[in-house]
Structures are given as C-alpha cells and as structure tokens.
A and B are shown apart, each in its own frame.
Chain A
Amino acid sequence: MSPQFLPRSVKDRVRLAPYELARQLAWTRREFLRCTAGIALGSSLLPSSLAARTGVAASKRKVIVITFGGGARDQETFAPEGQENIPHLMHELIPQSAFFTQVVNRGILGHYVATASLATGVYETINNFASLPPEHPTIFEYFRKDLKRPASDVWVVAPSNGFNRIGESSHRSYGPGLGARVILPKHLLTAATSGGTDYDHLLRDNYETPYYTPELGGNGFELQQLGTMLKLSVDDFKAHARTLSSPDELSVYIVRQLMRQLAPSLLWITMHDIDIAHAGTYSLYIEGIRRTDRLCADVWKTIQSEPEYAGKTTLFILPDFGRDSDDDAGGNGFQHHRTGDALSRTTWMMALGAGVREGVVFDRPMESTDLVPTLGSMLGFSAPLAQGKPIQELL
C-alpha cells in the first residue's frame, strides 16, 4: 500500500474522530450563517406543534424536496469565500428557513444510491450504476399506501436516466403500482426531438461515466403524456427547451408545469448539474453551484405564486452528500466524493415554508435517513421500515 495515498501534512486533522470533524463543520456553518444571515441558534427556542404553526391540516399539506446535487463543499457555498456562489440561498431562502448544519450521510456516496437512501430512510446498498429499484420502500410508497393517494399526487423529476427506477422499491409489501410517477426530462426531450442537435447541451448525462446511459425500464414517462398531463405540446416543449442552458433548468421547467397542471402533494426534484465537477473543471463546478442556487430560488418563488402551493407547502433543500476535502491526499479535492472523509459525508439541510420556524439554525447531528420519518410525521403517514428518526425541531 502506497502511503502517498494517505494524508500527511494534514494528518492531525485527519486523526480527529469523524464525529469531531462533523461537529467542527457544523459549528463553522452555524457561525457563517449567524454572521451573514443573522439567524438564531434554534436550540434556545421553545417548540410548538406543527399543526399550531401551520394552521393547515396534514391532509392539505404539500412537500417539495430538492436534492442540491451532486454534492457541493462548504468552501464553495457557505464559507465566506463561497457565499458569492449562493446569493439566493444566503439572502432569500436561509433567512426564511430552519437550517440544519450537521446532516451526516453514513451510506454509499454515489448519487443514485444516496438519493435512494434519502428517499427510503435506509442506507441502500444497490449498485449505483445499475438500473435497479431501491430495496426498501420509498417515501412515495409509504405516502400513497397509508394515505390512499393516487399516482398523480406523487412525482419525481430526475435529471439522469439512471434515476428511472427511484419511484418505487422492490419491497414485496410495497413496490409496483404504489410508487411515484418519474419524469426524466432529458428522456422526454430526446423523444420529442428525435435526436436533433439543437438540444445537446440539455442532454448531458452522467458526468462521472460519460457514454453510459442505462436502458430505460420501469416507470418511464411516455411522450404522449406531455399533452395529456402537462398540457404541453411537443412544439411548445421544444421551443422552450431551446431557451434553457442546462439539464437542471430543463428539470425545473418541467417542475413548474407539474405544479401548475397537477399540483402533486409530494414532489421530489433531483438536481445534478454540479456533478460536472467529476470532469475536473473547477469553473464548470462553480457555474453548476450558481445555477442550482438560482433554480432553488425559482422553485421557491413558484411555490409562493401558485395558489395550490402558497401557504401550505414546506420546501426541503439538501445535498445528497458533499465532496472530498482539499486536505485529503487520497482524493483530488472538489473533483470527486470517493474518500469517505468527513467533508464528503457531512452536509446540511434547510426547510422553509408552512410550519417551519424562520431564521433558526440547529447544529445537533442528524442523518440523511431522518428525512423520510420526518416527512411521515408532517404529512401523516408512517414509515415503519425507515431507519432514521423524525426531526423533532420540525414537528
């Protein structure tokens, strides 16, 4: 084993136990936020019940989850030198949000498997690059089965064809027929344009593994549904797509159509532009962060402007995980998320909207798997197979 793979000049930092590093990261995020966004430490505030805060019955509530993908580090986001890349989060969203500084992902740091873990509340171990469903029930199945909701009430919009099976699990008590409808906007655009070259910039897929595009199966979205469900003609879709600059912009365009036409109660959006970092180009990684920041604010504005969502929607934004530290000689800084170091595992989450206290920060440790049981408690369904715990600060 070559010792050059392992940290040297920063060995003292690496020697800290992982939980100590995570705590340091969380503390640093809190200080950044306290100084720049003027938010308070949440643990000093008294709790009150969610129902009392929202005034909205659980059956009427809506939730939108955005994964801020694929992974961004503090120094390009919440650290002082990175805040210029996230002006919308810093100045528009965080002041209105409850911010959790220490969300630890103890699972596999691959985008599909990590997103599947977020959606099941269990650290999934499926092959990150295979077209496989999660092994444990997803939030979409819990939601639909417990609350007897139709398929049209739960949607996933995902950028990569590799996410086509995320809507429902292979679990025998749930699975087929109980999951979310999944829209893969790039798949839709490919079908609509029949391989035309004007849209290539919107069809980038899987930066880590160029060329690889899994064959679609499972719950694919059919082209004719553009018209019947999204009320979009192929020509309108193509014309608008021509004005967009990235796959995530295409996703958010589809999200807006979904919100206007179907107003699903549970909507899950997976961003992915940032993952261009795997190509090793720092400027494109930064561009991806800035675009994702803007798109998150766009979704929030849409929530405020759509009557079906305004006042009764809670928005969650969280990365699936971080990226490798510059200090870990085993990695190559921002490019990948392969070392499993504390920086790549420790990330954040913000919640804003109905029932959420504004401008508070919580820095106790929590896990990515806590999201599903939390949403269960908020929306009134149970997630018996999820491993995480409900986040009491949001209930």
Chain B
Amino acid sequence: MKCHHCENQATVHLTQILNGQMHKMDLCESCAQAKGVTNPENLSIGGLMEKVDLEVDSTNPSMVCESCGTTHQDFKKGGRLGCDACYHVFRPVLDPLLDGMHAGTKHLGKIPSGSESRIQFEQKFNQLNDQLKHAIETEDYEKAALLRDQLRDLEGKAETAR
C-alpha cells in the first residue's frame, strides 16, 4: 500500500471516526512524522485531509463545477457535492478521500439496465480508441484505417440509438 502523500510504502495506518464516519489513511513513516501523526495529542484526519486538499488546490486553484457552481471550498466545508458533474470536476481531490472512506474505489454493485448499453458502448469505444493510438504509434496505418472506420460505425450506431 502506498503512502497517501508520496510514493513510499505506507507503514502507518490511521483510522479515525469523524462525524460518525470512519476515515482511514495510510502514511509512510516520514510523512507520518511530518504531519504530526506521531503526536496523538493534536492528531486529526480532518486536518490531514485538508493538507491533501490544499496541495491539490495549489496545482488547480480554480476548482469549481461549471454546471452547478459548487466550489472546492463548498465541498470541503459541507462535504457534499452539488450535481453529477461535480464528480468529474472534483475527482482529483475525491479519489484519495474515497480510498479511505470505502471498501474499494470501484463500483461493484447494481448497474442500471438503462445505462448498461451505454457502459458497453464506452468500454468498446475506449478499447478501439486505445488500439487506434497504438496502431498509429507503431505506424500500422492499414490497421489504423480499419479501426477508424469501426469507431465511426460505433458512433453512428450510438447516434441513431439516441
């Protein structure tokens, strides 16, 4: 398991209940010391998470959902997102939080039947797209042309389905 803050192996595993929710965090020894984890007196995962957020903040200062107007500050303050598009916008700060919050970070439950076809479409589309990139990189233009046609077909089908 990797450290929450750097690429080192995590050796300090922290669990804390905050507002009735369990939060877990894994840190390497030097990050644990730097964040004051070795001093249980002033230890708070909330504070640690804020630091994670701040670091992300500095690389992406204007994090705001254009769809609903939720800002990173709003999310940090209330812990709530404003709309489905927020999940794209705040994904970078969300991912490390989800890791500690849940049993995993990939949905393994029910798939709505309506979107099953959409997911299959996306998977197929991404797969073909990756193959196309690879074909272009390896200068296999014959294959690339074939893949491009397949992608066009797929898009066309998706259009008519809509």
Chains A and B are bound partners = no
Residues of A within 8 A of B (CB): none
Chain B positions near chain A (C-beta within 8 angstroms) = none
